[in-house]
Amino acid sequence: MNRIVKMILLVGCFLGIAEHGASQPSQQISPEWRFKEARQFDFWLGQWNVNLRTRQSDNTWQNSVRAEAKIYSILDGKAVLELWNSGSIKGYSLRYFDEKKGKWVLWLDWPNHNRSDSSTLEGSFRHGRVEFFTMPQNGSWFDRLLGREPVSRYTFSDITASSLRWDDAHSTDGGESWQHSWIMEFSRTGTVASWPENGTQAHTYESGGLCDMPEFGRLEGLAGRWSGEVRVRGSEEARSSSAATMTGYQVLDGCGVITFLTFEQDGRTVKRFNFRTFSTERGEFEDTVLDNQRGSGVRLFYGPDDGQALHLVTDGKDGGRSKFVWHMPGSGQVSYEQFYSAAGDTGWHKSEIGTFRRFADGRSHATVRH
């Protein structure tokens, strides 16, 4: 890395508002995501070696795990995606700046063997650090009354162009005291994290043995490169039609599948990120959805597999509900239907249809941008 670029990155890191530097050319970021808060996590983009240290019973710290993290800018620069991999531990996180809250929102899943479930934190930058806190939700009503609900805190600090520190902390007394378990020391190995050209299996996937229940295997059919069509219902009940592409990756050693969908609607490019897993906490399939629209945030969809399709439903903020029905027959074709209802579980109206066929094996795609 030349001296000038390194100095630019270093200054941006300390301010928490790096302008992508060498991690990704600025012309790949949509103008609507070039405001400073949305660029605060650009210091993290690229590839890193990670030294994971764990706290011992005598309160000393021991080097325990060596890992590799790949950090991507996605959705035209709206969000940051992390894939964290060691031989025994896999992790995924998604974060974006929520303009309404004035905070960064973080969603993550670090599964264990046949155990997977998403959780969320919120945080902000201050004095060269960023701290994320879990939202109160897990304690009893008595714990909440006394301010003793369990809270987790994740902190990024000591940020330079080539290194940074992450640590966790947990409190059961409303933040009066904290227990630390992990410290991660990141050392940069590259400024750009690459994707496999043709989809299928990405960083954090090895043998598929971490989550080998049949429910997780149901999602594998979404991996690969797809082409097709998306039809969207407009205000006049007419449907606009657009060519569409979708790329899917198996991640977390069989515990999840990531997809990127792109199509045109009303003269603009729509990009949609999905992380799908089977939530063993709920006993349902789970879909984390984020698009590149200004002002939109993550929507979580849950639902069953009836043997023919996945039926994934979320509550709407306006009292309505949205639903995706994904058909994956396993014959090189997939399709989905999106529905909306303003009346709970009744009165569903179809709002979007997508149909896709898998690209032939071995087809080359020189550039992968999400």
Residue 40 is given by DSSP the state: T
Pairing of strands 200-201, 239-251: parallel
Task: Give, for all 370 residues of the chain, the pLDDT tens digit.
Answer: 444 334 334 334 433 333 333 223 334 799 999 999 999 999 999 999 999 999 998 989 999 999 999 999 999 999 999 999 998 999 999 999 999 999 999 999 999 999 999 999 999 999 999 999 997 655 544 455 555 678 999 999 999 999 999 999 999 888 889 999 999 999 999 999 999 877 899 999 999 999 999 999 999 999 999 999 999 986 555 678 999 999 999 999 999 999 999 999 988 999 999 999 999 999 999 999 999 999 999 999 999 999 999 999 997 665 678 999 999 987 899 999 999 988 777 789 999 999 999 987 544 344 566 8
* Domain 200-358 in this protein, CATH class: mainly beta
Task: Tell me if domain 3-190 and domain 200-358 are identical in fold.
Answer: yes
What count of Cα atoms within 13 Å lies in the side-chain half-sphere of residue 140?
Answer: 3
Residues 77 and 8: their CA atoms lie apart, in Å, by: 19
Locate the domains of the chain by residue range.
Answer: 3-190, 200-358
How far are the Cα atoms of 71, 144, 205, 260, 306 from residue 118, in angstroms, in the given order?
Answer: 19, 22, 18, 19, 23
SS (H, E, C) 178-229: CECCEEEEEEEEECCCCCCCCCEECCCCCCCCCCCCHHHHHHHHHCEEEEEE
Question: What is the value of pTM for the model shown?
Answer: 0.88
* Domain 3-190 in this protein, CATH class: mainly beta
